[in-house]
Amino acid sequence: MKETILKVNGMECGGCENRIKNALSAIEGIENVEADYKTGIVKVKSDEKVEKEEMKEKIEDIGFEVEE
């Protein structure tokens, strides 16, 4: 199990948090997602095989920006 921390721009409310949680939870191998719109931080617990790039693409697909 690994933890990935992403800085996400554009989250403005709990609804945004839920959209990100739902999008990332759909990826096979992701166990847990915590999103905090106040800090812009998304913490993801996943299998080793899940790539950060895949998470980033999924978040950007729903309209948010991930900082490098």
Residue 35 to residue 64: CA distance in whole angstroms: 13
pLDDT score of 68: 80
60 burial (CB, 10 Å; 0-12 / 13-18 / 19+) is: middle
Question: Residue 60 forms beta bridges with which residues?
Answer: none
Q: What is the pTM of this model?
A: 0.94
**Which residue in 38, 3, 8 sits closest to 23, CA to CA?**
8
Task: Count the neighbouring beta carbons within 10 Å of the beta carbon of residue 61.
Answer: 9
Mean pLDDT of the chain: 97
Domains of the chain: 2-67 (3.30.70.100)
Q: What is the pLDDT of residues 6-48, one digit of tens each?
A: 999 999 999 999 999 999 999 999 999 999 999 999 999 999 9
